[in-house]
């Protein structure tokens, strides 16, 4: 069995260029799957580890795909009644 590599919260925050608290919010909301590897499971000081498969899955769901071009709307021509002459 091949061991899966894991990342800490700080590793992922550095990779994404954000703060640790943003990654922790994603873990708390359930969007990013992580495992608590703390010695004491009481929850006072969790140590989260994120597996590479969970990270790849999250990044795939959040990835931007090619954007479709919006069709240009034709310009509206002014009617003769809308033209105001000042002279």
- Kindly write down the DSSP assignment for every residue of 48-64, as one continuous string: EEEEHHHHHHHHHHH--
pLDDT of 2 over the 60 cut? no
Asked, for residue 82, whether it belongs to a domain, the answer is: no
Q: What pTM was estimated for this model as a whole?
A: 0.67
- Other Cβ atoms less than 10 A from the Cβ of 33: the count is 14
Let me know: does 8 contact 49? Beta carbons within 8 Å: yes
Asked, for residue 45, whether it belongs to a domain, the answer is: yes
The count of domains in the chain is 1
Give pLDDT, residue 82: 62
What mean pLDDT value characterizes the chain?
A: 84
Asked, for residue 27, whether it belongs to a domain, the answer is: yes
Asked, for residue 18, whether it belongs to a domain, the answer is: yes
Burial of residue 34, with CB atoms counted within 10 A of its CB: 0-12 exposed, 13-18 middle, 19 or more buried? buried
The domain of 35 spans 6-62
Asked, for residue 80, whether it belongs to a domain, the answer is: no
Asked, for residue 71, whether it belongs to a domain, the answer is: no
């Amino acid at each position: 069995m091949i061991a899966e590599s894991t990342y800490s919260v700080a590793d992922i925050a550095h990779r994404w260029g954000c703060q640790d608290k943003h990654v922790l919010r994603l873990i708390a909301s359930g969007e990013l799957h992580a495992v608590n590897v703390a010695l004491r499971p009481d929850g006072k000081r969790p140590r989260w580890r994120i597996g590479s498969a969970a990270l790849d899955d999250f990044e795939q769901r959040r990835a931007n795909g090619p954007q479709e071009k919006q069709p240009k709307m034709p310009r509206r021509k002014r009617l003769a009644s809308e033209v105001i002459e000042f002279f």
